[in-house]
Amino acid sequence: MNRKKKWQQKRKIANIKFSLIMILLIIIVLTPLSYFTLTGLNKTQQVKKEITSVSKQKIKKTKESISKSQAVKSTINSNNIDTSKWIPSQEEAWVPTLMYHHITHEITDNNCLTPEDFEFQLDTLKKDGYTSVSPEEAYLIFTENKKPAKKVICLTFDDGFDDFYKNAYPLLKKYNMKATSFVVTNFLNKINYLTDPQILEMKKSGLISFQSHTASHQSMESLNVKDQLEQLQTSKKHLDNSLKQETLAICYPAGKFDEHTANLANQAGYKLGFTTQSGFAAKSDGLLTLSRVRINSNMTGEEVLNVLKTAENH
Ligand SMILES: [Zn+2]
């Protein structure tokens, strides 16, 4: 019995020892494992946090760059014209806008000017320091009240006659002067009028802008509201589509308009409207009822300059 008891005791002790060793072993094995697991988790969380903060920074930077580019855009505006270096005008900025029709040797009425007389006018304007502006630039001159040069001028040609391509365009290129042709969209490609290829070629030069003179050259004041709007919209859509541009100016046929016309032009999407009222175009005229200076067939360069002198200080 004693032997048996002793053996049982020894076995018990051996069992306890074995259990203790096992527990110790488990502790030894598990402690570093749990440490590594925990630090591993921490590290994953840290990496996650870093990624989040990096992406947050990226978002912030993107937002900053977007707002910066928007700020730049707002100074450059939709036509990509940078006005930041333009000269602010002390008084209301005016744009003397000259109104031409035919440039031709066949002088049939007061609206015709010979190419030689036209060249003399361009030469005189250039020598006197005039910079010609596009309708887009004119719009910014009116709305921002500053100018790209001290003396600015807008040269406009009504009706879209083909003598503009034959006689005026070569001279405008020679003197590097910008000009605007107001075309009647239903007359294009007809005899004596500009053709699509001529228009595309001139637009490509960057010197010539094509704007609306309505669809069929009917006097606005002779039309009801619906028909006026149709004339304004149809011609704009034609030019917008064919020239891939946002047509911004309308010139009313024979300069005629009624009390609805300016609102209708605005509704059709025009920003500038030109009349035949005599004077220098200014915002206070109303941007959709701007005045112009008619150039007659017998006007010399000097006479044109004399007319412009009063605008020089504006
Ligand atoms: Zn006309």
Predicted confidence at residue 52, as pLDDT, reads: 45
- Ligand 1 centroid from CA 305, angstroms: 24
86 C-alpha to ligand 1 centroid (Å): 33
Ligand 1 centroid distance, CA of 157 (Å)? 9
Could you give the CA distance from residue 47 to residue 51 in angstroms, rounded to a whole number? Answer: 6
Q: Which CATH number fits domain 89-309: 2.40.170.20, 3.40.640.10, 1.10.1490.10, 3.20.20.370?
A: 3.20.20.370
What DSSP assignment string belongs to the chain?
Answer: -HHHHHHHHHHHHHHHHHHHHHHHHHHHHHHHHHHHHHHHHHHHHHHHHHHHHHHHHHHHHHHHHHHHHHHHHHHHTTTT---TTSEEPSS--EE-EEEE-EESS---STTEE-HHHHHHHHHHHHHTT-EE--HHHHHHHHHH-EESSSSEEEEEEEETBTHIIIIIHHHHHHTT--EEEEE-GGGTTSTTB--HHHHHHHHHTTSEEEEE--SS---GGGS-HHHHHHHHHHHHHHHHHHHTS---EEE-GGG---TTHHHHHHHHT-SEEEEEEES-EEGGG-TTSEEEEEPPTT--HHHHHHHHHTTTT-
Q: 176 C-alpha vs ligand 1 centroid, how far in Å?
A: 25
| Residue 257 Cα to ligand 1 middle (Å) | 13
Report residues of the chain scoring pLDDT below 70. 1-7, 13-14, 16, 18, 20-79, 310-314
Ligand 1 centroid to Cα of residue 254, in Å, is: 5
Q: Output the pLDDT for position 147.
A: 95
Distance 93 CA to ligand 1 centre (A): 27
Q: What pLDDT was estimated at residue 119?
A: 95
| Centre of ligand 1 from the C-alpha of residue 314, in Å | 28
- Determine the distance separating the centroid of ligand 1 and the alpha carbon of 213, expressed in angstroms: 7
Domain extents in the chain = 1-76, 89-309
Query: Does residue 264 contact residue 227 with C-beta atoms inside 8 Å?
Result: no
What is the CA(95)–ligand 1 centre distance, in A? 21
Q: What pLDDT is stored for residue 23 in this prediction?
A: 64
The predicted structure's pLDDT at residue 4: 60
Q: Could you tell me the distance, in angstroms and rounded to a whole number, from the CA of residue 123 to the centre of ligand 1?
A: 26
Distance 253 CA to ligand 1 centre (A): 5
State in Å: Cα 226 to ligand 1 middle: 21
Residue 131 sits at φ, ψ, to 5 deg, of: -110, 130
Contact at 8 Å (CB) between 217 and 159?
Answer: yes
Q: How far is the CA of 158 from the centre of ligand 1 (A)?
A: 5
Query: How much is the pLDDT for 260?
Result: 97
Other beta carbons within 10 angstroms of residue 281's beta carbon come to: 26
Amino acid 68: pLDDT: 42
Q: How far is the centre of ligand 1, averaged over its atoms, from the C-alpha of 152 (Å)?
A: 24
pLDDT at 16: 67
Query: Within 13 A of 233's CA, how many CA atoms are on the CB side?
Result: 10
What pLDDT was estimated at residue 37? Answer: 47
193 C-alpha to center of ligand 1: Å?
12
* Residue 61 alpha carbon to ligand 1 centre in Å: 53
- Cα of 159 to ligand 1 centre, how many Å? 5
In the reported structure, the alpha carbon of residue 117 is separated from the centroid of ligand 1 by a whole-number distance in angstroms of 21
Confidence (pLDDT) at 253: 96
Q: How many angstroms separate the alpha carbon of residue 240 from the centre of ligand 1?
A: 20
Total residue count of the chain as it appears in this document: 314
Ligand 1 center–CA 163 separation, angstroms:
15
Report pLDDT for 261.
97
